[in-house]
Structure 1
Amino acid sequence: MSSRTQSRTDAELTPVKFSRLTRRGVLLGLSVSQLSTLSIGFGSIVWAFYAGGGILIAFAAPVVVLAAVLAWVPIARRPIVEWIPVAFWWMWKTTGGQLLYRRRIVAPRPVGTLALPGDMARLREYDDPATGAGMIHDPAAATLTVVLSVTHPAFVLLDPGEQERRVASWGRVLATACRSGRISMLQVLERTLPDSGTGLAEWWAAHGSRDDTWASTTYAELIDRAGPAGERHATTLSLSLDMRAAARQIRTAGGGVRGGAAVLRQEMATLVAALRSADLAPSAWLSSGQIAVILRSAYDPAVAASLERHGELGQSLATAGPVAVNESWSGLRTDSAHHAVLWISEWPRSMVYPGFLAPMLLSTGIQRSFSMLCTPMRSDQAARNIRKKKTEYISDAAQRQRIGQIEDASQTAEFNDVLQQEADLTAGHGVLRYTGLISVSAASADELDAAVAAIEQSAIQASCETRLLVGQQAQAFTAAALPLCRVV
């Protein structure tokens, strides 16, 4: 989808349309795995004919049937052959003991490392002396990530004209991420958190009348009870620098993580200026202690309110990770909660208005995290990708016409989406790849099932299609619930 947003002179909202998820294969709609499987079956039957036929053809027939079943029979709308890598990876993790994580309490951690499970154990902490921001360095992926907290008014309560203006401004914010070519990812994370009641308590302490009357006593009791039982929404933006793409600038700035931090500060200043022009209120860049509280709250939601009430607790990345993690095929169990991650596999195919995600984002009584991973593409890369897609679509259409296959309407719609992206890119707009993930948390497995069903229903109301990510819940949870610009 392009970052382009249309403007109108009236006060009406402009509907938008998302590009479809590309389902076109390498040849005639078949993926590489399907073509490889069918080639094995076809090759076996050809070998049987040339080797003498007869009994050899009978032996090759089961191979052909098996190849056809693996290539064409779907399970959960995916061919069986595409499930083989997922199943193999799951078996490898099962036999290798990778599904369980237990914190080694007595074993000290190396200085500057994060106490996180899986491949996130390689992450390193760096405190920027210039801005005070906590930066997360991934040596393997060569990225440097920083997190920013953002406050904003309720979008659904604004009038249509103001909504349209803010949508156009947000489009310009996204466009800034595509210009430098040094940004690896921009993550928008919106979380629901249990409200500790500190806001109400502070307001009552400053403005309340403590005169021991019935009204005063009742109001104070209501604040004590209602505060911790409520929930609030928190939004963060995570900016990840591609240190490979910015290698020349990093060497100029001194090299290493320190040079990467100097280059990242330039992108940070650009992003803050763009956010302020969009009437968003960015706070100071989060320190390592504030990032540690977010990580701890994601793995252990039961202590989130306590950490908020006592600001000095949980301010260390060395202890922010979970104590125990159990991964299952379709879920994840951490310290005090059960989790499940859903992938938004289909965005609305019809024209929708901004704010269409309100049924999911405003659902009450469900603890969830909504993560939007935006991967910007440089203009030259986007142009090459679009030209490649156009060539493949045209060649596939010619091949289908040659063999007499009827043109599918979905293929035509995907080709029109590519043409629209090309028009947007020609007009000077940026192109980003979007991935939407929803992490749902609950205290028990039964509550988690009910919460997932409610989120799936709200996704239907938002004209979106969601799918439960199986066999990769641990990795998906880090991308959906943690502001670290992780990928699935």
Structure 2
Amino acid sequence: MSQEPEPRVVFGPRDQHGLILGLRAGQIGILLCGVLLALGAITASQANPLAILAVLALAVLSGAAALMPVGGRGVDEWVPVVIRHLLGHPATWRSIQPSRGQRVSAGPTSEPRLIPAQPSFPPMLRHCSVLAVPVPRGELGVVRDTQLGTWTAVLRVRGSSFALLDSSEKARRMAAWGVAQAALAHHGCVQERVRVISAICGASLSRPLVPEERVAIELAVHAATPRVPWQAPTLPRVVDALLSPSERTAGEVHLSADELRTASRSVALELRRLVDGDLRGMFDSETSGDIDLQAPLVSFDLSAVYGTAALPILMACVGAWFQGVLTRDDQTKRIVVLDEAWAVLSNLETASWLRGSYKLARSYGVQYLAVLHRLADLSAAGDANSAQVRMARGLLADTETVVVYGQAPAEVDNTRSLLDLNDTEARLISTLPRGTALWRVGRRSHLVEHRVGPDERDLVDSDQRMREGRR
């Protein structure tokens, strides 16, 4: 069996861009020096034939030095490298394995596995990490940017000089990086799907998932995900993987197939309800292609499933999707409006997500606006001592700005208790005219009259349907 040849590595300078007509600064300098020397020689020779031949030779040499490459690079690029080398201070960089970097295993049939060994980065680059991605016959240096969500292969480095690969080896590594990049993208999509399906199961079961169930979901999503990047797994395939796990899949967590099937039975049957039960048709196919979740304004209208078993599941899907958006950390400031917020709080899974989101709102640059018709709606989240009601009261206590419009007299005592209003504030909220609200910003209170412009009236007019149609 023949052994594959080692990659051909050539010592050379870094690439430089042209300044004028594609010529680099060094090339222009060599040509100018050749022209000046030729003019000087012609002036001094006084039409001597031998001197004219020497001038012509000088012009040809200067043109060749400027334009003809040596080892793929021009003389102007080689001069500083040779000088540095002779002085004993060559500036080199090796791309085979980044120093002190992480190691990642990524290929068309394996998921990336990171072994932390993070180098010390300055604060402005804390979101970057250096990886070594194995490819056939070597490794690629890769910079991972969690802020932008990108993986960048290090194929060229700015510096005075470094080791160059020949064209065939460069092409081979570029192709290998394409395979590795597809595997890394596949890994990110799988983790996003695991988060969404875990949220669906928690919302449908109305309880947090136990570790065995979360592991089973992760293994099932991996098993149901096609190995080609343009295809996505569907919920029926995940249900099949949960109900009939293979011995190989179960072996990854040192369990038998029967043990894994028993541990995941509850989530498997609950997910099956979405495929073949009373909620079939809503979650058992791929996401509609005409939904743009990257638009500047995204609105989820769940009024069609209000009061049904699908409502908490859809809210869990939205919450899991939004959590994935936040973890990309793209420095975008966002405003999230939760209308009828009691519905979000009525489910333990979505209430827990909202509580965690409130706690991290500042670090993610998110402003949350929760809309309630009455503070008594908080009691609709559950029983008086339920975890949901306690979370609702905690969210109210964590809210920095509270806007209270006019309240019915029967609501005054409850509102006063929950918001810790004084006597004057409690007396005012039952007499406020329409459009006027009591603003509580921290511990300070203000009466604010809200005026709606003509372009805004249609957005807030909730009586429009009552005025339309026949009487």
TM-score (norm 1): 0.23
Higher strand share: 1
TM-score (norm 2): 0.24
User: Rg bigger for which structure?
Assistant: 2
